[in-house]
Amino acid sequence: MKRTEWFERKFSPITDSGLLPGIIERLAGTPLRLEAKVRKITPALLEQRSGTKWSVKKEIGHLNDLEPLWLGRVTQIQAGIPELTAADLTNRKTHEADHDDRLLVDLLLDFSTSRDKLITKLKSLRDDDLKKASVHPRLKTPMTITELAYFVAEHDDHHLAQISSLSEEFDKGN
């Protein structure tokens, strides 16, 4: 089954901010789903790459690398900033980081700790904050905090699916 590339994804508007609590649950569950997923992967395969794809550890590191961007964007929308900070679409931070040299337990802990900050921020929002929107720099459309949270959850799942794909590929090779 071919997955849609991340940068080809389209996101429909979400007009019901009452969906945010469910999206927060999904976001809060990502570290647990990630941990369960990588527990099934042989330690030797965590640093293995397939062609130009990132290793499993690099995928985990990438998720954590973006947490400051997500948190910053929530704060920007809340503050009424007209346009959100652009992401580094080259993923330079992830490419240059030594995620493969780190212990898996540390990568997972860092992501979980960073994600807890985002969850805490989202849970602290007031109804008025959920009415605000800022333009997403790549998508060129206004994005509410609910839509941003959904975007982040979809990004999480995109990378979890990539880890599953790598794991399945490695299993076939052994």
Domain parsing of the chain, residue ranges: 17-173
Tally of CB atoms within 10 A around 15? 10
Question: Could you tell me the pLDDT band of residue 174, with boundaries at 50, 70 and 90?
Answer: low
Q: Please say if the pLDDT value at position 2 is more than 90.
A: no
Beta-strand relationship, 133-136 and 141-144: antiparallel
Question: Could you tell me the pLDDT band of residue 44, with boundaries at 50, 70 and 90?
Answer: confident
**Residue found under tokens 């333009």:** 135
Q: Please say if the pLDDT value at position 169 is more than 90.
A: no
Q: Is 121 exposed, middle or buried (0-12, 13-18, 19+ CB in 10 A)?
A: middle
As a whole-number percent, the residues of the chain with pLDDT over 70 amount to 99
Question: Could you tell me the pLDDT band of residue 99, with boundaries at 50, 70 and 90?
Answer: very high
Q: Mean of the pLDDT values across residues 17-22?
A: 98
The topology (CATH level 3) of 17-173 is: Four Helix Bundle (Hemerythrin (Met), subunit A) (1.20.120)
